[in-house]
């Protein structure tokens, strides 16, 4: 995984640092989306909050991760697929938050439909977030 992580960073013209490598590896191992606090808790290395925040912002800008809104106005982050690039996120998919385990899933197979806005309105982002019980929790 280390070589994959290094390749992703280099492909995006980013220096390979300990914090970037560790945070990207957390996303690669994650089964769902991560919050800033999850990264603080799950990281084997101790990074200060500012380092984590800056790393997340750079990853979003480069198209490595995308943001997911939540019902409590916090932000979650998830890995982008290969078709995202710097300044161009192609994460036109729905997200699902499990009410039982609190995991957030990207549902890539559910595309967000185009919405016809009134004249004068310009769409910059559309988010679809559903909540309920995920398949893992339903089978328990």
Set out the domains of the chain in order of their start, with CATH numbers: 2-138 (1.10.10.10)
Q: Cα–Cα distance between 38 and 12 in angstroms, integer?
A: 24
H-helix or E-strand containing 22?
Answer: helix 18-29
pLDDT for the residue 100: 92
pLDDT of residue 2: 58
Question: In the prediction, which pLDDT does 67 show?
Answer: 87
Q: Which residues of the chain have a pLDDT value below 70?
A: 1-3, 82-91
- Strand arrangement of the beta sheet that strand 129-132 belongs to: 104-111, 93-98, 129-132
């Amino acid at each position: 995984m280390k070589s994959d992580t290094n390749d992703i960073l280099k492909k995006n013209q980013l220096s390979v640092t300990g914090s970037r490598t560790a945070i990207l590896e957390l996303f690669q191992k994650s089964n769902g989306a991560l919050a800033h606090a999850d990264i603080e808790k799950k990281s084997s290395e101790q990074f200060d909050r500012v380092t984590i925040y800056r790393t997340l912002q750079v990853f979003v800008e480069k198209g490595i991760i995308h943001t997911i809104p939540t019902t409590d106005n916090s932000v979650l982050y998830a890995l982008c697929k290969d078709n995202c690039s710097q300044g161009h996120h192609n994460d036109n998919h729905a997200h699902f938050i499990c009410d039982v385990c609190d995991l957030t899933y990207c549902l890539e197979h559910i595309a967000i439909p185009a919405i016809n806005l009134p004249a004068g309105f310009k769409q910059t982002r559309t988010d679809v977030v559903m909540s309920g019980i995920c398949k893992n929790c339903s089978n328990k």
